[in-house]
Amino acid sequence: MGQDLRKICNIREDVEGSSLREGHQFRFLDKLNQEFPTPKKTGKLHMLWKVAAMLTIGIGMGYLTFSILSDSAANIAKEASHISAKKKDFTIGSLSPALNKIETYYIANINLQLTTLKFSEENKDLLDGYMLRLDELAIAYKTLTLELNNEGPNEHTIAALIENLKLRLELLFELKNKLNELKNNTNGTI
């Protein structure tokens, strides 16, 4: 199976040692230039086309950059207004963890005391009076919270909000004591 490729292709060994005729390289380059001519550069016209192309690309890139930046600036402004709208809805609990603990404590105890109240016909007038006062304090708390949002946090407003919560809780304890006294008086008279 071992066949000589030179015999198959009829290649002579003396081809390797032969040299090219004189001027072969120049004739080859002439033929190459005839087949693939190089474009001739005309000075001013060629430069004018380059400048026009660069200006077109520059203007296009400038417009694209401007439109992207203006869109992102509008989105940033919209997001900032959205964040500031969210930011304005804060209570004393959102100012610090300690104030959050205080606010949570009072609100939880107020709600607990409200759920443990027993309503009946005998204590209806007493409950209505206390509930009216609790509603007034709740409205005052909302007003103070609005003041906190509009003017920003300050010592006076924070102290007033905590005092409001404390008053509501004390009022509920007082109401429970009155209800117990009323219950004991009605049980003692019977």
Quote the CA–CA distance of 187 and 183 in Å, as a whole number. Answer: 6
- Does the pTM surpass 0.75? The reply is no
1-8: average pLDDT? 67
Report yes or no: 132 and 145 within 8 Å, Cβ to Cβ: no
Tokens 């003692």 sit at which residue?
188
Tokens 């060994």 sit at which residue?
13
Query: Could you read off the pLDDT of 81-121 as tens digits, one per residue?
Result: 655 555 556 777 788 888 888 888 988 888 888 888 887 78
Cβ within 8 Å of residue 123, ≥6 positions away: 179, 182
Summary mean pLDDT of the chain: 79
pLDDT of residue 158: 87
28-40: average pLDDT? 78
CA 93 to chain centre: 22
pLDDT of residue 114: 82
The closest alpha carbon to 177, from 123, 140, 132, 139, belongs to 123
Greater confidence (144 vs 11) lies with: 144
Tokens of 87: 């930011």
What would the 3-class secondary structure string for 43-76 be? HHHHHHHHHHHHHHHHHHHHHHHHHHHHHHHHHH
Quote the CA–CA distance of 90 and 149 in Å, as a whole number. Answer: 7
The closest alpha carbon to 160, from 169, 170, 147, belongs to 147
Query: Could you read off the pLDDT of 41-82 as tens digits, one per residue?
Result: 566 777 788 888 888 888 888 887 777 777 766 777 676 665
Tokens 């100012």 sit at which residue?
95
Phi, psi of 96 (to 5 degrees): -155, 160
